[in-house]
Structures are given as C-alpha cells and as structure tokens.
C-alpha cells in the first residue's frame, strides 16, 4: 500500500524502513531534511519537501502516519487538515494523551477526515525484530491500515482495542507498567550494590538472570547491556526524565479510584530524581537509554 509518513526520528525512520522492506510505497516528510534524503537514497522512500508535497504525492483516499512527539501533534494536524480531504485517514503513532486523541478525533469529524491512534512499543531493538502496536478508533479504518501494521510488527504483536483513544490508553498503561518494572529491577540491584555482598558481579548476575529465571525479560536484557556499557554505573548521573505516560496513568488511576502504589511511587521517584539520585535511578536511566535511545546524563 502507499502511505505518507511524517517524522523520521528514532522510531519513525526504522518503521518506514520496515514498510519499504515489505514492499510498501512510503512518501516521507521530516522537519529537518537529512533523514528524508538518507532514507530515500538508501532505502527507496519517496521524498517530500513539505506537507503539501507529501499530500500531493498520495492518491485519495490517502493514509498519513504521524510519528512525532505529542506536543507537536496539534500544529501538525492544523496544517494537514487544510490539505487532506474527507475520507482520508490520519494516524497518530506517537505517545499522545488519550484524552487529547479523543478531542482531536472529534474535531476532525467535521472535515470527514478519519483518525486512528496507534501506540507503538518495542523501542530501538524493534527496528530489527519488529514492533508491537495497539490501535484505537473505528474498526473499518483499522482494517485499512492493518496490512501495513502487520508488516511492521512481530507475528501476533498488534491488535485493535476499542474506539478513539483506546490505543493510546493501553499504550499509556503499558508504559506505566514499564515504570514499575524498571524501578523494581533498579531497586533490587541497589540492594545488591549497597548490601552485604557489594562485590557481586552485576554484569554476570543480570546475564544469569536472563537464562531461565522468573525475572528474565527484555528489560533485564537492557539492564545487562546498560551495566556493560556503564560499569558500576559510575559515569551515570541518575536523573530519569519522564515523558508523560506515567503521570497520565497516575492521574487516571486517581480519577477512577484505582489503587496503584507501585506505579505511582516509581513515577514519584523519577520526578524526584533531579535531586535524589540512587543506584536504582541510575539503573533505570541506563535501561531507558538502551531500549529507547533516550540518552544518559553523565555524572
């Protein structure tokens, strides 16, 4: 199928590369031009010089996928709504707040432009192995894009979970769970580092834990890699940014009367990590960098 794609960052670039490898035609636009040039030259994407150019190169009814940070979504839609036609489909694949997604979908209804929210998981490693995707919005619109989603995902790694906002909602909860799991791993290693056996080889331990233990996991693999890249976490500052989903999940839990102390506390630890830096927050910082390429502040 032919798809327009906006946002060739850490996620978008490799998602487009997967689509191209599976034989889809992808017209690409990015705020800065270099990724457009590179992916067109090296992988055969169709370059667009502007939003107008991108829309012009697609046949109606068009499909356009945005893979940009959530604060940039409203402005991008504001431009696209003047260029797209009724029947076109616009997809937000970034980590947007589901309440904003529902508002945007409703606003777009006036112009007849369809909307889908697709939460994407898998981080940098998914560039090679395939992504995991969670969609929300009208089922028939999901069916339109399903062949492309299937081609970007690991087998069995995608689904449609309900109306507008449902995809971003389950992605928000996914990230909130991630907060708790990462914090638990970090705290365990902190206890080993500062308990009675501080000489324990944590690089070896996390490798062993990844072979047959109950806590073996992708996050444990990322912890192992992080420890290898930052021995003893000595060069890591310990500040852990939060990108919104943890906060939104905690707010929603309060709004719906759901108790989630583990996730709430792991969010608070991140909030406070600009002042309170521990071995655990250092471990969380390197995990984030390993799976998402978010960078690590150096001590």
Q: Rule CB under 6 A: which residues touch ligand NAP?
A: 7-12, 30-32, 35, 67-70, 72, 94-95, 120-121, 123, 243, 292-293
Least distance between ligand NAP and beta carbon 76 (Å): 6
Name which of 269 and 287 has its Cβ closer to ligand NAP.
287
- Please give the Cα distance from 195 to 202 (Å, whole number): 13
Give yes or no: 187 in active site.
no
**CB of 68 or CB of 263, closer to ligand NAP:** 68
C-alpha R_g of the chain: 20
- Give the CB-nearest residue to ligand NAP: 9
What minimum distance in Å lies between the beta carbon of 100 and ligand NAP?
Answer: 12
- Which residues fall within 8 angstroms of residue 249, CB to CB, at 6 or more apart? 172, 173, 175, 176, 260, 263, 267
Token representation of residue 140: 């028939």
Whether 277 is a known active-site residue: answer no
* DSSP classification of residue 161: -
Least Å from the CB of residue 188 to ligand NAP = 23
Indicate the helix (H) or strand (E) that contains 273: none
Q: CA-to-CA distance for 173 and 184, rounded, in angstroms? A: 17
Nearer to ligand NAP, 10 or 228 (CB): 10
Q: How far is the CB of 66 from ligand NAP (least distance, A)?
A: 9
Q: Is the peptide bond before 61 cis (omega within 30 degrees of 0)?
A: yes
**Do 182 and 287 touch, CB atoms closer than 8 A?**
yes
Catalytic member of 178, 221, 245, 264: 178
Closest CA to 245 of 116, 104, 120: 120
Question: Based on CB atoms, which residue is closest to ligand NAP, 30 or 206?
Answer: 30
Annotated catalytic residue within 25, 171, 221, 264: 171
Active site residues: 171, 178
């Amino acid at each position: 199928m032919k798809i327009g794609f906006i946002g060739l960052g850490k996620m978008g670039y490799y998602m487009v590369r997967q689509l191209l490898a599976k034989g889809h035609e992808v017209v690409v636009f990015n705020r800065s031009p270099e990724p457009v040039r590179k992916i067109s030259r090296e992988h055969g994407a169709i370059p667009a010089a502007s939003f107008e150019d991108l829309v012009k190169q697609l046949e109606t009814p068009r499909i356009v996928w945005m893979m940009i940070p959530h604060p940039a979504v409203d402005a991008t839609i504001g431009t696209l709504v003047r260029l797209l036609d009724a029947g076109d489909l616009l997809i937000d694949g970034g980590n947007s707040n589901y309440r904003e997604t529902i508002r945007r979908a409703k606003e777009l209804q006036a112009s007849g432009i369809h909307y889908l929210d697709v939460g994407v998981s898998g981080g940098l490693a998914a560039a090679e192995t395939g992504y995991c995707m969670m969609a929300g919005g009208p089922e028939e619109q999901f069916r339109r894009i399903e062949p492309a989603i299937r081609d970007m995902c690991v087998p069995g790694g995608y689904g449609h979970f309900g109306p507008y906002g449902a995809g971003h909602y389950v992605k928000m909860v996914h990230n909130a769970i991630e907060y708790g799991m990462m914090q638990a791993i970090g705290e365990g290693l902190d206890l080993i580092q500062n308990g009675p056996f501080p000489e324990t080889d944590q690089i070896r331990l996390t490798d062993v834990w990844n072979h047959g233990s109950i806590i073996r996991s992708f996050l444990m693999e990322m912890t192992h890699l992080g420890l290898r890249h930052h021995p003893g976490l000595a060069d890591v500052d310990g500040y852990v940014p939060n990108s919104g989903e943890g906060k939104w999940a905690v707010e929603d839990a309060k709004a719906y009367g759901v108790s989630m102390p583990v996730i709430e506390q792991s969010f608070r630890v991140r909030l406070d990590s600009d002042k309170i830096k521990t071995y655990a927050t250092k471990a969380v910082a390197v995990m984030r960098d390993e799976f998402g390429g978010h960078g690590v502040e150096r001590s």
